[in-house]
């Protein structure tokens, strides 16, 4: 039972991290120039989705002691874009936003990888592995945007 309690505690922590990530992306979308706003809003929506899935898992583990099936979700970002970006007054810099976002995604991936390692249930392991993959996808998109902006001065992300 203590292992279940530890898992439920870990899920609660992950839920809080997903809530904070969604808030960060929503706030960042409002504080940045318009170029990356669509991408940031989609990332906020995706993190809210992760929160909802974790809440469903938490309820299932608490009520039935069972993991749920999770098939994953595709990130529906705007079409690949390459736009010359300029910083706008009173807006957060895109480099700052992306740097913070990369840290969020790296931590989330690590959290889910650790949960997958600690989970013996095949459905639970698969769910946490898929969540880690989704966070890695976000990380790659943001990393590409970071280097594009840093090296070429354009805000660009690839099609996933």
Q: What is the pTM of this model?
A: 0.81
Estimate to the nearest angstrom the gap between the alpha carbon of 144 and the chain centroid: 15
Query: What's the pLDDT tens digit per position in 39-83?
Result: 888 899 999 999 999 999 999 999 999 999 888 888 776 555 544
Q: For 72, left (φ over 0), alpha (ψ -120 to 50), or beta?
A: left
Instruction: Tell me the per-residue pLDDT of 86-137, one tens digit each, with 9 for 90 and over.
Output: 555 556 677 888 899 999 999 999 999 999 998 888 888 899 999 999 999 9
Asked whether the beta carbons of 123 and 107 are under 8 A apart, the reply is no
Write down the domain spans for the chain. 2-157
Is residue 148 within 8 A of residue 155, CB to CB? The reply is yes
Question: What fold characterizes domain 2-157?
Answer: Ferritin (1.20.1260)
């Amino acid at each position: 039972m203590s292992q279940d309690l530890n898992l439920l505690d870990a899920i609660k922590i992950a839920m809080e991290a997903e809530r904070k990530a969604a808030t960060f992306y929503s706030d960042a979308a409002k504080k940045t120039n318009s170029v990356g706003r669509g991408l940031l809003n989609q990332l906020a929506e995706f993190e809210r989705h992760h929160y909802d899935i974790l809440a469903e898992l938490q309820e299932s583990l608490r009520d039935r002691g069972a993991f749920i099936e999770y098939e994953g979700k595709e990130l529906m970002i705007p079409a690949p874009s390459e736009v010359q970006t300029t910083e706008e007054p009173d807006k957060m810099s895109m480099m700052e936003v992306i740097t913070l976002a990369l840290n969020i995604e790296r931590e989330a991936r690590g959290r889910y990888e650790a949960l997958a390692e600690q989970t013996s249930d095949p459905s639970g392991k698969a769910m946490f592995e898929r969540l880690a993959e989704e966070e890695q996808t976000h990380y790659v998109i943001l990393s590409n945007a970071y280097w594009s902006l840093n090296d070429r001065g354009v805000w660009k992300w690839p099609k996933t």
